Amino acid sequence: EVQLVESGGGLVKPGGSLRLSCAASGFTFSNAWMSWVRQAPGKGLEWVGRIKSKTDGGTTDYAAPVKGRFTISRDDSKNTLYLQMNSLKTEDTAVYYCATDRESYDSSGYYYYYFDYWGQGTLVTVSS
């Protein structure tokens, strides 16, 4: 059974930093592309960024609002995904979910990308 368990959320002041963790089990983590998705209170889902597997280059991509402030990393030896958040703003207040990415090209050459498993989320509150 796939399990994703986030931790590390809490209250932080504007301008501060926080590191979230996502412990994965039930699948081969080292082969997986992983994403962070957040949800502000009462709002919709917003993709934060992703990290590819090391065999696919281990590169990262970020949404515009967090680029340059957030960093996604992974430790395959610990089956753990991380989100380092710096220069936090009040608008970063949200529940942060980690999720497993599924992406590829179909037989017709069309690209698909979706999230098949999600963690329970961890709340980050940025407030003075």
Q: What residue ranges bind another protein (CB under 8 A)?
A: 35, 37, 44-47, 50, 61, 63-64, 97, 102-103, 106, 110-116, 118-121
Phi/psi of residue 121, nearest 5 degrees: 90, 155
Tell how far CA 80 is from the center of its chain: 11
Q: Which is nearer to another protein, 27 or 118 (CB)?
A: 118
Q: Which is nearer to another protein, 17 or 72 (CB)?
A: 72
Least distance to another protein from the beta carbon of 38, Å?
Answer: 11
Rounded Cα distance, 113 and 73, in Å: 20
Least distance to another protein from the beta carbon of 30, Å?
Answer: 22
User: What is the secondary structure of 44-100 as a DSSP string?
Assistant: -EEEEEEE--GGGT--EEE-TTTTTTEEEEEETTTTEEEEEE-S--GGG-EEEEEEE
Q: Which is nearer to another protein, 23 or 63 (CB)?
A: 63
Least distance to another protein from the beta carbon of 14, Å?
Answer: 25
Rounded Cα distance, 44 and 58, in Å: 28
3-state secondary structure of 31: helix
Least distance to another protein from the beta carbon of 97, Å?
Answer: 6
